[in-house]
Amino acid sequence: MFNLAEFMSKHVFYKAWDIKERSHRLSEWKQLEAQQWWTREQLENLQNERLKCILTHAYHNSDYYKQLCDDQGVNPAQEFSLDIFSRIPVTTKLDIRNKNTAFISKGADRGQLVTAKTGGSTGVSLELHFDRHCQQKRNAAQLMADRWAGWDLGVKRAAVWGNPVHPVTIKQKIRHHLMDRIIYLDTMNLNDASMGDFVDRWQVEKPGVIFGHAHSIFIFARYLIKEGITNIRPRGVIATSMMLLDHERAIIEQAFGRKVTNRYGCEEVGLIASECNEHNGMHLNLPHVYVEFLDANDQPVQEGEPGKIVVTDLNNYAMPLIRYRVEDVGVYTERACPCGRGFPLLERLEGRLADFLKLPDGGEVAGISLVERTLTNVPGIEQMQLIQESTNLIVVNRVKGRDYTTNTDDCLTESLREVFGDRLRVSINEVEHIPQEKSGKYRFSICKI
C-alpha cells in the first residue's frame, strides 16, 4: 500500500535536511551501500589506508598516541603495516579516564564537539568526544544496518528504549515529524498497562521496524504472546546494546513472526557489527572500525577462539581511539556469508569481560552462557541474574517460572555446583523481575571479585 508520508520522508525530507545541515550522512551511506559488496582484498586495502590516515593524524595531534608511538619506535608518517600497527599498546577505559584531554586532537574545536558519556556498568564511566562529521558517518552506518534488518528511509520505527528523547524545540519537532518518525515504549516503565497503550499506539502508527535492548524487546514479545496479540508484524526487529540470548530470540521471533536482527556496537565507536538477512553471524563494520580479537597477552587469537575485542575508530579525528579495548569478548570467523557481502563476520559475542565469573581452578566462565545453560537445564525459572560475591558464593536473583516446583531451587544449586564445585554456596533471592540499570540495559551476570 502506498504511504505518502513514508514516500515524502524518503525522497524529499531526508535529502533536504542533509543539504540544509551540510551533512555527509547520505553520501557516506551511499558509499557504504557500495562498499559492502566489495571483495575482501578491496576492503582490506581501504581499511589499511584509513588506519594509516588515522594513526598518522593521531601521532601528530594527540599527545597520548604520540607518546605511545614514540615509546614503541613507531612513526606512521614513515612507514605503515599491520605488524607495526600492532606494536602500539592497547588503550583501556582507565587510560582514557586518567588522561582524557591528552586524547583530544590539538586542532579540534572543542566547542563544536559532540560529547557522549558511557555508563559505568563496567566500573569505569567515560566521556568521549567526536565531531559532527564523525557522527554523520556513524549515522550512515546505522542506516545501512537498519536496511539489512528490513527498514528503509522514511519507514516509521518503534523503539523500546530507556529515557526516550522527546522533541522540544521547533526544529526538533519538525525533524521528528518528517524524518525520525519514531514511537517509544519507555523501558523505565514496562508493565501491562504501558505495553497495552503501546500496542494501541502501534495499531494507529503502524511502524515498520522495532528496535531496542534485546531483553526489553523480549519482555514486550512475552507480553504479546501472553495477551494473544498476533497482529504486530513489523518488517524488521533489531536487538541491540546487549547480549541476545537464544531463548529470548526464540520468543521474540514467535511474537513478531520475524527473524531478529542482532546488532553490536558501543557508545565509544558506534556500530561495530550487525547481522544481515542471513542471521548467521554479524558483519563487521569494516569501513569504519578496525576490529581485533586478542588473548590475555594482547596477541591475536585464532579464528573460532574467544578474544578480547579491541577496536580502532576510523572516523574519529577529534579524539582518536586506537586499539581500544571495549571490554567485550567475541569470536571471529573467516567463513564467508552466503549474502555475498565482503565485510568479515563476528561469529558470536561471548559477553562482557566484567560478566565473566571466576572458577575455583582459576579459569573463567562467560556468565551469560552459564545463565543460558541453567535456564535450559533447570525447569521452573523464568529469569535469573548471577552475582558472584566471592569464589565460593554466588547470589542468584530468580524469577519463578510456570513450571516452578519445590525442587527447582535445589536443581539450580546443583547445576551451579557442577560448574563451580561442591564447595560453592548459593544464595537464592526470589524477585519479581530482574532490575535494569540506569541505561535501561540488563545485566544477567555480575562478577564482584
* Interface residues toward Zn ion, by CB under 5 A: 276, 278, 337, 339, 341
CB of 198 to Zn ion, least distance (A): 31
With beta carbons less than 8 A apart as the criterion, state whether 449 and 361 touch: no
Q: Are 51 and 314 in contact (CB under 8 A)?
A: yes
- Smallest distance from the beta carbon of 278 to Zn ion, in angstroms? 5
Q: Report, in Å, the least distance between residue 339 CB and Zn ion.
A: 3
Nearer to Zn ion, 162 or 287 (CB): 287
For residues 320 and 330, which CB has a smaller minimum distance to Zn ion in the complex? 330
- To Zn ion, the closest distance from the beta carbon of 281 in angstroms equals 7
Listed in sequence order, the DSSP H helices in 24-148 are 25-35, 40-61, 63-72, 82-85, 93-98, 100-103, 132-148
DSSP label at residue 302: P
For 250: left if phi > 0, alpha if psi spans -120 to 50, otherwise beta; the answer is alpha
Smallest gap from Cβ 37 to Zn ion, in A, equals: 11
Grid coordinates of 417? 555446583
Q: Which is closer to Zn ion, CB of 215 or CB of 341?
A: 341
Element (H, E) at 371: helix 367-377
In the complex, the smallest distance separating the C-beta of residue 160 from Zn ion, rounded to whole angstroms, is 25
Cα(112)–Cα(442) distance, integer angstroms: 33
Of the pair 9, 274, the CB lying nearest Zn ion is at 274
3-state secondary structure of 310: strand
- Cell 519514531 maps to which residue? 182
- When the beta carbons of 145 and 326 are compared against Zn ion, the nearer one is 145
Shortest separation between residue 270's beta carbon and Zn ion, angstroms? 19
Instruction: To the nearest 10°, report the CA torsion of 191, 192, 198, 201.
Output: -150
Tell me the closest approach of the beta carbon of residue 237 to Zn ion, in angstroms: 17
CA atoms within 13 A on the CB side of 11: 6
Burial 132-153 (b: 16+ CB within 10 A, else e): bbbbbbbbbbbbbbbbbbbbeb
Q: What is the DSSP string of 158-201?
A: EEEESSPPPP-SHHHHHHIIIII-EEEEEGGG-SHHHHHHHHHH
CB nearer to Zn ion: pick between 337 and 371? 337
Is 278 or 389 the residue whose CB approaches Zn ion more closely? 278
Interatomic CA distance for residues 128 and 97, integer angstroms: 10
Residue 18 or 278: which CB sits closer to Zn ion?
278
- Alpha carbon distance 253, 218 (integer Å): 9
Q: How far is the CB of 343 from Zn ion (least distance, A)?
A: 8
93 or 348: whose CB is closer to Zn ion? Answer: 348
Q: What is the smallest separation between the CB atom of 283 and Zn ion, expressed in angstroms? A: 6
What's the min distance (Å) between Cβ of 277 and Zn ion? 7
Residue 29 vs 343, nearer CB to Zn ion: 343
User: What count of other Cβ atoms lies within 10 Å of the Cβ of residue 285?
Assistant: 27
Q: Residue 112: how many CB atoms within 10 A of its CB? A: 10
Q: For the chain, how many residues are written?
A: 449
* Residue 269 vs 337, nearer CB to Zn ion: 337
* Grid cell in block for residue 168: 522540544
